[in-house]
Amino acid sequence: MRIALLISGGGTTMASIIKACLSGDLKDVEPSLVIASRENAGGIEKARNLGIKDEDILVIKPRDFVTPEAFGEAIIKECEKRNIDFIGQYGWLAKTPENVCQKYEGMIVNQHPGPLDTGRPDFGGIGMYGMRVHQARLSFVQKTNRDFWTEATAHMVTARFDEGKIVKQKQVTIFPSDTAESLKARVLPIEHEVQIETLRDFTNGTVAEFIREEPLVHDDEIQILEECKKLAIEKYPKG
């Protein structure tokens, strides 16, 4: 399975995936393309140091295109050139154009650092990325005084942020002494595990949707959730 890895920042998950491929821990997966949405993404140098060829490490910035469709066409063109089978978004902050979602429907997955609940209120959506997710989840748990855990998640990509089917998740305990920073540090290696296992599921043909039996957020907690998200965005204006 030839994969494209989309990044916007440090690329730690991307690096873990490439290392798993090189070590043989992740079989039948070939990292064939790295696309960064920012020219200063730290993951570019990581990819180079891990043996990805310079011609297969690209910077494609959404602001360089007149329309989302043109941005998507540029991504698709480079993927087709390398016979890409699967796209993984690992810290990719750009909104993925609809034409990319359609072209790779069922074979494009996103990494999310918090719990999601497809079709119901959760810790995803516009503005919910990075430290904001950890802060929002931590504040919500503290205010509701229940479910002292968060999750690392892999979900299918659709044209709307974080609304695709969940295909893998793992819980991480939240401790009373936790801060958003300590939570992030503990969740990150689990995020790596989740994304590697997700790729393994795709190569094995064992991908399965995860559906919550109970809503993540109760009806009387929706306002609390929105307040926690708002405060998290204010606290971490850069994510």
What are the tens digits of pLDDT across the range 68-89? 999 999 999 999 999 999 999 9
pLDDT at 9: 96
* Tens-place pLDDT, residues 10-64: 999 999 999 999 999 999 999 999 999 999 999 999 999 999 999 999 999 999 9
Give pTM, 2 decimals.
0.96
pLDDT at 160: 87
Which letter does DSSP use for residue 210 in this model?
A: B
The closest alpha carbon to 131, from 231, 198, 59, belongs to 231
Q: Which amino acid is at 202?
A: F
pLDDT higher than threshold 90 for residue 159: no
* Tens-place pLDDT, residues 210-227: 999 999 999 999 999 999
Paired strand residues for 171: 151
pLDDT at 39: 96
* Tens-place pLDDT, residues 88-126: 999 999 999 999 999 999 999 999 999 999 999 999 999
pLDDT at 171: 98
pLDDT at 206: 98
List the 149-156 sheet strands across, edge first: 57-59, 30-36, 2-7, 86-89, 108-112, 149-156, 166-173
How far apart are the C-alpha atoms of 85 and 42, rounded to whole Å? 25
Contacts of 143-149 spanning 24+ positions with Cβ under 8 A: 143/224, 143/228, 144/221, 144/224, 148/173, 148/174, 148/175, 149/173, 149/174
Distant-in-sequence, close-in-space partners of 203: CB < 8 Å, separation ≥ 6: 1, 27, 28, 29
